[in-house]
């Protein structure tokens, strides 16, 4: 093909592309005209007043007349839109290469002359429909029809100003087809994208030298970095040593064929995300299906279409670039989450609290990098001990942030708050229901009561300041007197804690005494008291223990936990270790469903 013939051929391709673009630009506003007018007509036709409704209307005749008027105007708009679309489809059919530029110009002129008269009634009807209308939704849809028609009318008026059909008879100038005006006016982003062209390193694998050289030349001209390989074995060696952005892989090759190379790539965790486009003279459907099933990004038969190959390469590289950015973002996010996890672990006790004649053991395993579960053990100024076990609703970062808030509030309020008033009156007003104060030491009772006010204060703070987020926590807070074993507690919607003796007998269950903390301000939390005797173990857990799922999605369940608790244990740590091992064995290779937290306290 001579240069002159090549330029003529390229011109026809450009001209065909421009016709397609024109069809797109013309149809877009027409679709809006048809779509919104049809929707409004459906809404108006759905309105069917009953006799009783008409009687209650102030001016039923006026309303019915107005409705008919709107329907009539919208039908005119819709019909004109359909006629415009029909004209576009008739006149701007796919342009054949034997059509002369003059013939195409005549078509565009005819298009303009026929369509513009059809747009004026639409504009006029929209203006009429907007008068005396109070329905904002209706007005908004009419405005869309109106603005789309104005845009269509403007484009039609300027359609012949786009100087993209002037062809010079000088063969030297045919390579410079004057389409810049069209591109600049209608598609400015296309010009911007030229400087942002996606590039990458492509590996071409083909045992045929001519094929390799052809692809190397074509892709290099497109701005890609290209390496070539003569067979599958060499390709695997190159892939192992270097990172490529895309692989063009021949199917039929000696020794190691394309199927084997593809399978090897997709089985490699580090390389499986490289997009692979298969190129082969075989185009049977079973070959395509097999390649796609193995993991090929795309499949092109030989001899391949250059334009199609270029498009497929660009699409594949764009997807890879997006994925690479996603991987990089995820990597950075995980680094931040790891930092968050380290900070969250710093909120938990660094080591078990040491108390004479008492043993405290715990276990904490988040389902993700950060968790909503937490436990805490700390001493008050009077040597009483605060025990906390809690589970913030939800999972992940949001729950972790509130975990830190709940933990800090409990610590602050339990140490710095005391109820004002006469001690006797205070104890009478806040005494536990049913049992009253079982301890005769009112000083200790008052100390415990003051510390437990931290639950109410935390509840009100979260509900008042963050109630719109719907965050709350199930929470057990107990105040322990190490000298006597007296435990005063509030269980705010948490799992029941269990007291077992040294023989494995379940002595008591510390059930909920109130709702979850943070759900609603001014909630009342009942206070309970109990004594822990020598050999007793108080054990508590979050629902991540009982809700732990196996690979078959079977729950660990409360029954299995209780079976373990009924065994005799002379160590809180041994009990926690036993449950930990059983739960993790149950989960096995499955993903951990929820945060797992346990706290056990034994009186020696």
Q: What is the pLDDT of residues 233-282, one digit of tens each?
A: 999 999 999 999 999 998 888 888 888 999 999 999 889 899 999 887 65
pLDDT by residue (tens digit) across 175-186?
332 333 333 333
Averaged pLDDT, 102-122: 81
Averaged pLDDT, 462-477: 94
Contact residues for 439 (Cβ-Cβ < 8 A; gap 6+): 445, 484, 486, 529
Predicted pLDDT at 156? 80
Contact residues for 414 (Cβ-Cβ < 8 A; gap 6+): 380, 386, 451, 452, 453, 454, 477, 479
423-460 core/surface letters (b: 16 or more CB in 10 A; e: else): eeebbeebebeeeebebeeeebbbbbbbbbbbbbbbbb
More confident residue, 125 or 159: 125
Question: Is the pLDDT at 557 greater than 70, yes or no?
Answer: yes
More confident residue, 429 or 331: 429
CA distance 589 to 552: 10
According to DSSP, the residues that pair with 12 across neighbouring strands are: none
CA distance 375 to 397: 17
More confident residue, 172 or 355: 355
**Preceding peptide of 303 cis, ω within 30°:** yes
What is the residue-averaged pLDDT of the chain? 82
Q: How far is CA 445 from CA 432, 528, 578, in A?
A: 11, 11, 35
**3-state SS, residue 194:** helix
596 sits in which H/E element: strand 596-603
Predicted pLDDT at 142? 85
Residue 53, token pair as written in the block: 């409704």
Contact residues for 478 (Cβ-Cβ < 8 A; gap 6+): 386, 387, 388, 487, 488, 489, 490, 538
* DSSP string across 135-172: -HHHHHHHHHHHHHHHHHHHHHHHGGG-------S-GG
More confident residue, 125 or 501: 501
Per-residue pLDDT band for 1 (boundaries 50, 70, 90) equals: very low
Predicted pLDDT at 55? 53
Residue 137, token pair as written in the block: 């939704």
pLDDT by residue (tens digit) across 408-463?
999 999 988 788 889 899 999 999 988 999 999 999 999 999 999 999 999 999 99
Q: Per mean pLDDT, which of 15-29, 156-170, 206-220, 437-451 is the most reliable?
A: 437-451
113-129 core/surface letters (b: 16 or more CB in 10 A; e: else): eebeebbeebbebbeeb
Question: Is the pLDDT at 511 greater than 50, yes or no?
Answer: yes
CA distance 595 to 284: 51
**Do 485 and 533 meet the contact criterion of CB atoms below 8 Å apart?**
yes
**3-state SS, residue 449:** helix
Pick the range with the lowest mean pLDDT from 47-51, 133-137, 479-483, 568-572.
47-51
More confident residue, 327 or 602: 602
Predicted pLDDT at 193? 41
Predicted pLDDT at 95? 45
**Do 143 and 95 meet the contact criterion of CB atoms below 8 Å apart?**
no
The C-alpha angle 396, 367, 592, rounded to 5 degrees, equals 135
Question: Is the pLDDT at 15 greater than 60, yes or no?
Answer: no
pTM flag (> 0.75)? no
Residue 176, token pair as written in the block: 């410079």
According to DSSP, the residues that pair with 342 across neighbouring strands are: none
Residue 512, token pair as written in the block: 């909920």
Q: Classify the C-alpha dihedral 356-358-359-365 as positive or negative.
A: negative
Predicted pLDDT at 390? 95
**3-state SS, residue 592:** coil
Share of the chain above pLDDT 90, in %: 43
Pick the range with the lowest mean pLDDT from 146-155, 282-291, 419-428.
282-291
389-403 core/surface letters (b: 16 or more CB in 10 A; e: else): bbbbbebebebbbbb
Let me know how many helices (H) and strands (E) the chain has, helices first.
Answer: 18, 15
Predicted pLDDT at 54? 47
pLDDT by residue (tens digit) across 519-531?
999 999 999 999 9
**Do 579 and 514 meet the contact criterion of CB atoms below 8 Å apart?**
no
More confident residue, 328 or 556: 556
Provide the CA 382 distance to its chain's centre, in angstroms.
Answer: 50
Question: Is the pLDDT at 283 greater than 60, yes or no?
Answer: no
pLDDT by residue (tens digit) across 303-326?
666 778 888 898 889 888 888 888
**3-state SS, residue 386:** strand
Averaged pLDDT, 350-362: 92
pLDDT by residue (tens digit) across 18-74?
665 676 567 767 766 877 787 788 778 766 555 554 455 455 567 778 888 888 988
């Amino acid at each position: 093909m001579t240069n002159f013939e090549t330029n003529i051929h390229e011109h026809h391709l450009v001209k065909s592309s421009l016709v397609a673009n024109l069809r797109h630009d013309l149809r877009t506003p027409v679709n809006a005209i048809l779509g919104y007018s049809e929707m409004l007509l459906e809404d108006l036709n759905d309105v069917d007043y009953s006799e009783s409704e008409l009687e209650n209307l102030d001016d039923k005749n006026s309303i019915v007349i107005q409705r008919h008027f709107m329907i009539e105007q919208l039908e005119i708009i819709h019909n004109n839109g359909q006629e415009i679309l029909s004209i576009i489809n008739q006149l701007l059919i796919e342009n054949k290469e034997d059509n002369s530029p003059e013939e195409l110009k005549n078509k565009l002129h005819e298009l303009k002359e026929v369509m513009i008269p059809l747009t004026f009634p639409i504009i006029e009807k929209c203006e009429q429909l907007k008068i005396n209308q109070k329905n904002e939704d209706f007005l908004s849809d009419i405005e869309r029809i109106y603005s789309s028609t104005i845009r269509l009318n403007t484009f039609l008026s300027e359609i012949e100003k786009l100087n993209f059909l002037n062809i010079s008879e000088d063969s030297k100038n045919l390579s410079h087809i004057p389409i810049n005006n069209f591109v600049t006016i209608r598609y400015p982003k296309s010009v911007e994208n030229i400087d942002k062209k996606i590039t990458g390193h492509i590996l071409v694998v083909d045992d045929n030298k001519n094929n390799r050289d052809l692809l190397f030349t074509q892709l290099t001209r497109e701005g890609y970095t290209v390496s070539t390989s003569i067979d599958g074995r060499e390709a695997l060696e190159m892939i192992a040593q270097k990172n490529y952005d895309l692989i063009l892989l021949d199917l039929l090759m000696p020794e190691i064929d394309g199927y084997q190379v593809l399978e090897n790539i997709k089985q490699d965790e580090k390389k499986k995300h490289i997009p692979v486009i298969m190129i082969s003279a075989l185009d049977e459907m079973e070959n395509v299906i097999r390649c796609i099933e193995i993991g090929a990004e795309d499949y092109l038969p030989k001899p391949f279409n250059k334009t199609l190959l270029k498009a497929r390469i660009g699409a594949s590289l764009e997807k890879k670039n997006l994925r690479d950015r996603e991987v990089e973002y995820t990597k950075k996010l995980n680094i931040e989450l790891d930092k968050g996890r380290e900070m969250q672990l710093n909120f938990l006790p660094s080591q078990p609290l040491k108390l004479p004649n008492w043993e405290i053991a715990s276990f904490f395993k988040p389902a993700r990098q950060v968790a909503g579960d937490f436990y805490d053990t700390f001493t008050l100024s009077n040597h009483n001990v605060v025990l906390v076990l809690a589970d913030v609703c939800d999972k992940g970062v949001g729950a972790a942030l509130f975990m830190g808030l709940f933990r800090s509030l409990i610590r602050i309020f339990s140490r710095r708050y005391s109820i004002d008033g006469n001690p006797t009156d205070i104890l009478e007003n806040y005494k536990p229901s049913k049992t009253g104060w079982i301890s005769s030491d009112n000083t200790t009772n008052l100390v415990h009561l003051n510390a437990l006010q931290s639950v109410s204060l935390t509840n009100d703070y979260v509900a008042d300041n963050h109630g719109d987020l719907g965050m709350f926590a199930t929470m057990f807070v107990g105040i322990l007197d190490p000298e006597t074993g007296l435990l005063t507690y509030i269980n705010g919607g948490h799992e029941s804690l269990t007291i077992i003796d040294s023989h494995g007998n379940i002595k008591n269950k510390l059930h909920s005494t109130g709702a979850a903390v943070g759900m609603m301000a001014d909630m009342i939390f009942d206070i309970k008291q109990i004594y822990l005797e020598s050999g007793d173990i108080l054990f508590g857990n979050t629902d991540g223990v009982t809700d732990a799922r196996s690979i078959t999605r079977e729950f660990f369940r409360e029954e299995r936990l209780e079976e373990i608790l009924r065994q005799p244990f002379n160590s809180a740590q041994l009990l926690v270790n036993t449950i930990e091992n059983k739960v993790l064995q149950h989960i096995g290779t499955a993903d951990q469903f929820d945060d797992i937290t346990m706290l056990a306290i034994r009186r020696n």
